[in-house]
Amino acid sequence: MAYETIEVKPLAGALGAEVGGVKLTKVQDNRTWDEINRAFLDHKVLVFRDQGLSPDDIMAVGGRFGEPTYYPFVTGMEGYPYIFEVIKEPSETRNFGGGWHSDTTYLQKPPLATLLYAVETPNAGGDTVFANTTAAYDALSDGMKTLIAPLKGIYSAGLKRSGGRANIHRQVGAMKIQNAEQADTYEAIHPIARTHPGTGRKALYVSKGHTIRIEGMTEDESRPLIDYLADHSTRLEFTCRVRWEPGTLTVWDNRCTQHNAINDYHGQRRRMRRLTVGAQVPA
């Protein structure tokens, strides 16, 4: 169905769209929000340019997608506990969010959407890539779909395979990290292939960082399948790439995508504001 109140321009064959003709702070009518929500389900990653959003505006836009949720490992902005800043300084070499993942899968109710708003961006670099995990699921053989249908994964915040969250977070010095020593205590069990409540479509829900094993199996036994599904989920033909400028807002659907912040801009500053919304049990 065509859009009447917004312009929607796909970013790639697999997912992602730039939405034009809309200043989010000015949208009052439900018809436009209904179309934005339909575009969100259709394209999974929506990019809005030149938005000029204050933290209050980010909260208001986020509220159109769901109730705000807390991120456990970074302190929120003064007066805005749900929004935190993702910062990489020119002197730093490690970035936050590098590595394929869907957000906070180790929570019992991970957020359905993430809003990321660009405040300061490098001249070039610092893009974010996204993968369509519904397309990845669809591309599996019937045999693999049958094999994984009953499987649940154990999701941990510990980031053990990359040296541990506390160790990693110590290297993103400009950010207000909290609670990282407790990361191992954040664990949840979810289906490896989850069903999107808005579309009824299945999507793979597996990442090398967060999925530590399959329920009922050891870590060693689980790893080949986890690695296969994670690599398959992020094949190039399932991806799109978002280039940021100050004022760009991107909203992504954590139920059917993964993302990876590219760390290719050493020596330059990147500062973003991030809000997650819509706690939901994956089923």
* String of contacts with ligand SIN for each residue 98-117, x by CB under 6 A: ------------------x-
- Which residue, among 278, 276, 280, has the nearest Cα to 76 in the 3D structure? 276
> In this structure, what DSSP letter does residue 64 have?
T
Among 168, 183, 261, 275, binds ligand SIN (CB under 6 A): 261
Q: How far apart (Å, rounded) are the C-alpha atoms in residues 239 and 93?
A: 25
Nearer to ligand SIN (CB atom), residue 32 or residue 104:
104
Nearer to ligand SIN (CB atom), residue 222 or residue 258:
258
Nearer to ligand SIN (CB atom), residue 40 or residue 265:
265
* Least gap, CB of 259 to ligand SIN (angstroms): 6
Q: How far apart (Å, rounded) are the C-alpha atoms in residues 50 and 132?
A: 25
Phi, psi of 36 (to 5 degrees): -60, -40
Among 97, 158, 278, 282, binds ligand SIN (CB under 6 A): 97
Nearer to ligand SIN (CB atom), residue 229 or residue 261:
261
Nearer to ligand SIN (CB atom), residue 112 or residue 116:
116
- Which residue, among 145, 128, 129, 127, has the nearest Cα to 137 in the 3D structure? 145
Residue ranges with strand state E in the chain: 7-10, 17-20, 45-48, 68-69, 84-88, 111-120, 128-132, 152-156, 187-191, 193-195, 202-204, 211-214, 239-242, 249-253, 257-261, 270-279
168: left (phi over 0), alpha (psi -120 to 50) or beta: alpha
Among 32, 128, 132, 222, binds ligand SIN (CB under 6 A): 128
Report the residue number whose CB is nearest to ligand SIN. Answer: 97
CB 82 within 8 A of CB 68: yes
* Least gap, CB of 151 to ligand SIN (angstroms): 25
Q: Which amino acid is at 189?
A: I
Residue 159 binds ligand SIN (CB under 6 A): no
Residue 208 binds ligand SIN (CB under 6 A): no
> In this structure, what DSSP letter does residue 74 have?
B
* Least gap, CB of 141 to ligand SIN (angstroms): 30
* Least gap, CB of 31 to ligand SIN (angstroms): 31
Residue 175 binds ligand SIN (CB under 6 A): no
Interface with ligand SIN (CB under 6 A) = 86, 96-97, 116, 128, 259, 261, 272, 274
